[in-house]
Structure 1
Amino acid sequence: MADHYVVREIDRAAPGTVRALRDAGVATAHEAAGRIGLLDATIRARQDGVAVAGPAITVSCHPGDNLMIHAAVEVCRAGDVLVVTTTSPSTDGMFGDLLATSLQARGVVGLVIDAGVRDLADLRAMGFPVWSRAVHAQGTVKASPGSVNVPVVAAGQIVRPGDIVVADDDGVLALPAAAGARVAAAAARRLENEAAKREKLAAGTLGVDLYNLRPLLAELGVRYVDRLPDESGS
């Protein structure tokens, strides 16, 4: 029989680093990190305009069984993000408003689940943000062992306990906690650079000039003409 664990203690990144990555957003942090750590696009935000970041509490569940999500609640702390996976593909609604109520009581800021959620209207009304593979009313059982705070694979991305998870309308990113400060600093530089570019674009500068793309277009054989040749022969 395989070993199953509930690991109580994990290392967490500094709160200031976590906040900086949340404020930078998934797209900017992903670029600043060197384009690593992004979960597959099948994981979608189920609400609009919400951004969270926090240390990952990871959960490995049997498909169609949310026993280990209940076990994970006990080890969560304020500011954490719960990351739930299944040992084979599942779209069952493994999480709903009752579990969200329990997580909110612990101060958990959001859920990322490579499976389904349900009670979506209630989750939105109570302000508990979720990112999921599916929304599905199919219920689950509580019968099979799994593990909490072990490395998991969520939507093609390895997520380790304590990784910094950043989630917003653009998707979900998981970064090693040790890289957090470096990525946050690089993200701040990107934001500053983008602000300067935004000002120039708003003043009417064209992207092809701002990024010096005209030589590249010419090298690739792209020609500017006033009109296409008349192929009718008239």
Structure 2
Amino acid sequence: MRHVVVISDAEPDDGAVAALEELGVATASEAMDRTGLLDRVIRPVYAGARIAGRAVTVLCQAGDNLMIHAAVEQCRPGDVLVVATMSPSTDGMFGDLLAAAVQARGVKGLVIDAGVRDIAELKEMDFPVWAREVSAMGTVKATAGSVNVPVVIAGAVVRPGDVVVADDDGVVIVPLECAKETAELARERSVMEAEKREMLKSGTPSLDVLNLRESLQRLGVQYVQGLVSTPDAAQL
């Protein structure tokens, strides 16, 4: 297997990244027909952060964070570090020292399919992380891997330059070539949801706001007066 550090200039549109960060994971995923989501095992290690940025990808040997160190100098302001491992790992491959190194280069946060540690320090540093596990188990720095190559993390393919959107709902990957279109569709969806939200707040039933009455009728749901003693009703 060839191990490389790719110097990548792949970069998404700044306006699209800013819009996706504002709109968040759920809206971005819906705008892509509910695709791009990482498996829910990747969760924020502390709540309240919302980021979006260019992916700098890292492929490491499990329990070895050498290539994360190699990736630091490939990072630019606004990037998000995305770390995958060659085999499953829950070791604490990233902590406050590496966070200080990448934060100094303007990195917004980390998504890692492994463990992290120094959570209190990361929160104090305001450096958000989405990870598979929290673990104090340390790692070695002895095995080659690669930087800025396509990786698979929690069921999603991430390529250098793709947009990583992460918040309390999880993480979604927006392909580089779809970033502008996805941002526009997400904006449209946000406007539509705002209109629906106002209707719901005014007391309009959600069945009418979402045009669901026809669905009930098509599925054979009937409105009746009083209680109905049927096996189906008894099971409710």
- TM-score bracket, normalised by the shorter chain, equals over 0.9
1:137 Cα shift?
1.0
SS at match of 2:104: helix
- Provide the aligned length of Structure 1 versus Structure 2: 231
CA contact (8 A) 2:54 2:163 kept: yes
CA distance in 1, matches of 2:150, 2:158: 6
* AA in 2 matched with 1:96: G
Q: 1:155: which partner in 2?
A: 154
Alignment of 1:5-16 (within 5 A): 5-16=4-15
* AA in 2 matched with 1:93: G
Query: Could you say what the CA RMSD is over the residues aligned between the two structures, in angstroms?
Result: 1.4
SS at match of 1:20: helix
CA distance in 1, matches of 2:224, 2:140: 65
1:175 Cα shift?
1.3
Q: 1:30: which partner in 2?
A: 29
1:214 Cα shift?
1.7
* Paired-residue identity, %: 59
1:230 Cα shift?
5.6
SS at match of 1:115: strand
Q: 2:201: which partner in 1?
A: 202
Q: 1:146: which partner in 2?
A: 145
Q: 2:42: which partner in 1?
A: 43
Alignment of 1:161-180 (within 5 A): 161-180=160-179
Gaps of 5+ in 1: none
Query: Do the aligned partners of residues 224 and 163 (structure 1) sit closer, same or farther apart at CA in structure 2, a change above 3 Å counting?
Result: same
Q: 1:137: which partner in 2?
A: 136
CA distance in 1, matches of 2:78, 2:19: 14
SS at match of 2:18: helix
SS at match of 1:102: helix
CA contact (8 A) 2:8 2:160 kept: no
* AA in 2 matched with 1:215: E
SS at match of 2:88: coil
1:46 Cα shift?
1.3
* AA in 2 matched with 1:54: G
* AA in 2 matched with 1:9: S
* TM-score (norm: length of structure 2): 0.94
CA distance in 2, matches of 1:224, 1:64: 59
CA distance in 2, matches of 1:213, 1:172: 30
Q: 1:59: which partner in 2?
A: 58
Q: 1:185: which partner in 2?
A: 184
CA distance in 2, matches of 1:78, 1:212: 44
CA distance in 1, matches of 2:53, 2:46: 18
1:202 Cα shift?
0.4
CA distance in 1, matches of 2:6, 2:223: 62
SS at match of 2:15: helix
1:221 Cα shift?
2.4
1:9 Cα shift?
2.3
* TM-score (norm: length of structure 1): 0.95
38-47 or 58-67, larger mean C-alpha shift:
38-47
